[in-house]
């Protein structure tokens, strides 16, 4: 009886070991399949013609060049806008200065006229005296 139990236990252990071996085999088979797929992918990539790779590289380079050009154009446009704004501010300041100068000239003319009138009055008074 004890012997039969040991035999059954041994059989169960054998079954467990076989199941574990099967599981490990399945895992290794999956790993081998993945490795094979990677190898096939690499072989496919090697089939890529060097000319095609150069064309792709040139396309990427031209896209990068265009993007940089667009950035340069944008930056230059911003610089021009700043320059134009500064010129407009300068013109506005100059116009304000000219207006102030004209106002000062008008005041000077008014004062000149007043002084001339007073001088005329004084001359007339002196002549009459």
Give residue-wise pLDDT tens across range 45-57.
766 666 677 777 7
pTM of the model: 0.37
C-alpha to C-alpha distance for 44 and 127, rounded to whole angstroms: 120
User: So where are the chain's domains?
Assistant: 1-47
Give residue-wise pLDDT tens across range 19-43.
888 888 888 888 888 888 887 777 7
SS (H, E, C) 56-105: HHHHHHHHHHHHHHHHHHHHHHHHHHHHHHHHHHHHHHHHHHHHHHHHHH
């Amino acid at each position: 009886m004890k012997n039969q139990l040991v035999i059954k236990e041994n059989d169960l252990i054998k079954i467990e070991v076989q199941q574990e071996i099967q599981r490990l085999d399945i895992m290794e088979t999956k790993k081998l399949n993945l490795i094979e797929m990677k190898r096939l992918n690499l072989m496919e990539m090697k089939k890529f013609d060097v000319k095609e790779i150069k064309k792709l590289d040139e396309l990427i380079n031209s896209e990068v060049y265009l993007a940089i050009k667009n950035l340069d154009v944008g930056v230059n446009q911003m610089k021009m806008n700043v320059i134009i704004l500064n010129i407009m501010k300068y013109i506005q300041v100059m116009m304000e200065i000219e207006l102030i100068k004209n106002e000062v000239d008008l005041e000077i003319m008014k004062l000149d006229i007043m002084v001339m009138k007073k001088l005329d009055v004084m001359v007339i008074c002196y002549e009459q005296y």
